[in-house]
Amino acid sequence: MKKIELEIIALSHSITQTHSYAVVLGEMNGLRRLPIVIGGFEAQAIAVALERMLPSRPLTHDLMRNFMLAFNIELNEIIINDYQEGVFFSKLICTSANDTIEIDSRTSDALAMAVRFGCPIYTYEEILINAGVSPENQNKEIKTGSITSETGKGKNDLSTMDTKDLKVMLEEVLEQEDYIKAISIRDELKKRGT
């Protein structure tokens, strides 16, 4: 089967499931999108790596990357290889000096590892047909290369706050390791030129 390369184009709050997020993958050199609902922890792990933030202590996916590198194991690619009853299945394709190994993974964890290693993300045509979204039937705008909130609530609340309060809030959320909220606050501060 021919592999189709994808890239992460958005990470947002899920409007369909409370306390969940959606990572949106876009077809390289194409228009189709693959939205995948993930948990908050995995969303933070992806956001931290995408934004090149340095948490005070390594997150679980950072630990896994460090472990793999310590033993000369490289993550070459991830493949979203199956979709059954609304659940995506993925594999990590890893190499060591002597072997190439496929490791079963939750898709959210595979994506968190892919952004840490800078490796390509692939899927197959059948999965894009069954779970993908084409431009002609998208119900909402997907912002390329950004981490957005589809609910809009957090964004509106931040725009009404003064700069001093935003800076205090940023320190608090960084202390709590809520990196997704920190990114939203940082973006609001950037808009204001601070």
How does pLDDT run across 97-124, given as a tens digit for each residue? 999 999 999 999 999 999 999 999 999 9
**pLDDT value at position 140?**
42
pTM assigned to the model:
0.73
Answer with the residue of higher pLDDT: 18 or 121.
121
Sign of CA dihedral 130, 133, 139, 143: positive
What confidence tier does 137 reach under pLDDT thresholds 50, 70, 90? low
- In tens, the pLDDT along 57-71 reads 888 999 999 999 999
Residue 33 has pLDDT above 70, yes or no: yes
Q: Which two tokens stand for residue 130?
A: 């069954």
**pLDDT value at position 179?**
66
If you average pLDDT over every residue of the chain, what do you get? 83
Q: Cα(113)–Cα(44) distance, rounded to whole angstroms?
A: 12
What confidence tier does 144 reach under pLDDT thresholds 50, 70, 90? very low
Residue type, 64: M
The answer to whether the CB of 24 falls within 8 A of the CB of 10 is yes
CA triple 191-180-140, angle to 5 deg: 75
Answer with the residue of higher pLDDT: 161 or 83.
83
Residue 145 has pLDDT above 60, yes or no: no
Q: Torsions phi, psi of 150, nearest 5?
A: -75, -20
**Helical ranges in the chain per DSSP H:** 40-50, 60-70, 107-117, 125-131, 153-160, 163-175, 179-191
**pLDDT value at position 5?**
97
Distances (CA, A) of 122 to 19, 34, 86, 89: 27, 11, 18, 12
Q: Cα(19)–Cα(74) distance, rounded to whole angstroms?
A: 33
Residue 160 has pLDDT above 90, yes or no: no
